[in-house]
Chain A
Amino acid sequence: MVDISALFGQKKVDIEKLTAAKDISGLIRALHSSDTSTQSEAAKALGSLGPEAMDVLIRALKKKDKDNRLVIIKALTEIRDPESVPMLIEMLKDENSEVRWEAAIALGEIPDPRSVEPLITCLRDHDKYVRFGAALSLKKLGWKPSNDEEKAFLFVGMQDWKAVQLIGNSAIPALTHILHDRNSNVRIRAVEILGELKSTQAIPLLIQSLADEDGDVRWKAVLAAQNCGIKMIHLPRGLSHRPKMKKNPLIAGFLNFILPGLGYAYLAKWWGVMIFELDIFGTVWALKYMGEDFTYETLLPIYFLLAIHAYYLATKMPRDPP
């Protein structure tokens, strides 16, 4: 959907006129306005138009465009019609994390017991924004966790780390969940708390974190693991399983044999492409002036040597410090 008003600058959309004409699609377009007051006026107007407008809005949620869904969920938040709750719950499973986040926030604004269960599931989302939104909404809905494990998920969602630590061993499932969070700071907090819990249950988790892609997480995992009573001598093996940044020597060698120079380019040598181009020119020139036999007999051994060279370069590449 093209945002017309954005194209023509400050031209104000006449919401009243659209409302009077019951122009639902016009009002939905107005939701896309960059002006926040126009947005909320349009949302209110849509709310005043009753079930008919609601149907259109809910149908529009099924469209592919993610911005469209975000705008409509925001409007639904302002309309606060319980009718929209099932659709918003559906949006909690959207593939886009911003849509999920927005939907979680929206459900907090519309008090409805149906949304509690899906929001609890959202506390286990892999995106920290969604977890945060779900936690805040659950609080607004007055939800009380029934056991310590659920409480831990709630506090992890709120990122209230002190409260998580106070829960003790029941927090381990929630912490396990965020050990794979995309954000390394979140992972560091999880590792630190696992260390503070001083529980043997945390040992396998911390050993996994020794192979984390982030160096600081790995270091914290070493410190935390000792708190949990594992002998340090068992830790170096875990660290050695950390992801290798190293390039594969076989790929480098193979590339250099088939497409001489690209093996070097694969190893991030800037002159790799240059050698590749020179080789093409050299080959064409040799084929034209020296004959086929000569060309193949000279070039193939050279390619072979280049392949071996790239192979050795790759094996000698230093690994990142642990």
Chain B
Amino acid sequence: MDIEAMKNDRDIRGLIRLLDHRKNDIQWRAADALGTSGEIACEPLIRVLGYPKINVRIGAIEALGAIKSPRSVEPLIHTLMTDESNEVRWVAALALGEIGDKRSIPSLLASLQDEDRYVRYGSVKALEQIGWSAQTDQDRAYYYIALQEWDAIKKMGKSATGPLIALFKDPHPAMRAQITGILGSIGGVEAKRSCRQVLRDPDENVRWCAVLSAIRCGVPTSQLPLELSKRPRTGPSVIGATLLNFFFLGLGYDHLGKWWGLVVLETFMLLIFISQLLLGLVMTVIIWIPIAALFATQTFFMAKRESALSG
């Protein structure tokens, strides 16, 4: 693969194809070659920003960041705001920082509120590169959160509450736990309200942080258990397992996470099949309904006991 020759031949399309090569180092070198090809590569690269393969989009954006053409600013902003891949948004933010065009500041500020920590971090670095500095307290709060400088955020006090609450959408439990802890130390009405909501977080660690923070914010301890009980249950549902076992004996056990559930199901199906051949459909139904009901009852109590244990 002679990337150098392709570059000299101005084979931009060929190089773009290499961005999704199965070898990582070829992807790197192709992106590097495109980045040093100058303005001529700009248009074709902008055209592949919507290409379905992530590696191609990342490589194209990397190259655009090296070419630094003002023409690519608008398309990159569009990618930063709309692309569904975290890595692509991240690299777009960084490329905008490399280009250094002031037009991208509002969009970079907006992506400080992105749900992904990499995108936030990249946006902060890009903003620093463009020479932006925070003017308002809100911007400053987002700035520190993106850098994960938790001590600085704590010092900001109540003015950081809004941005902290807004970033509860982060999919990382560790990040949500961190935010909850800081809200607890800042305190205040809004922090109190959101700590209560976080008591219903799907992650157990985050919920525990929320309990500690809620107490620090002055939520009466007696209210905590009720709030906590409203959380979405991730475990198997009791009624679901019961019904499944009534109609498909064994599948309910499978639903409860028993490895032998499917074995029971297969045995049950085989027995039904045989009894249908020997006794006919009506007799089979008459015999099996009480048996299935018996198993379903047992499943109901078993599932209830297990969900009580799992907390």
Contact = CB atoms under 8 A, between A and B. Distances in A.
Interface of A: 215-216, 219, 222, 232-234, 236-237, 239-241, 270, 273-274, 277, 280, 284, 321-322
Interface size class of B (residues with CB under 8 A): 35 or more
Interface in B93-115: 94-95, 97-98
A219 B27 contact: no
A233 B86 contact: no
A237 B117 contact: no
Contact of B251 (A216, A273, A322): A273
Contacts, number: 69
Nearest to B86: A322
**Shortest 8 CB-CB contacts between residues of A and residues of B:** A236-B91, A321-B171, A233-B94, A236-B87, A240-B87, A236-B90, A237-B58, A322-B86
Contact of A234 (B54, B62, B85): B62
12 contacts: A222-B118, A232-B94, A232-B122, A234-B28, A236-B87, A236-B118, A236-B122, A237-B87, A237-B91, A273-B265, A274-B251, A322-B118
Interface string B156-183: 0000000000000001101000000000
Nearest to B88: A236
A236 B116 contact: no
A240 B55 contact: yes
Interface in B61-77: 62, 65
B122 A273 contact: no
Given A237-B91, A240-B54, 9 more contacts: A236-B87, A236-B91, A237-B31, A237-B55, A239-B87, A240-B87, A274-B244, A280-B269, A322-B116
Contacts of B187: none
B94 A237 contact: no
A273 B244 CA distance: 11
B254 A321 contact: no
B184 interface: no
A232 B95 CA distance: 10
A236 B89 CA distance: 9
B58 A240 contact: yes
A142 to B, nearest CB: 44
Contacts of A236: 58, 62, 87-88, 90-91, 94, 118, 122
Contact of B255 (A216, A222, A270): A270
Contact of B95 (A233, A237, A280, A321): A233
A236 B19 CA distance: 13
B207 interface: no
B24 interface: yes
A237 B255 contact: no
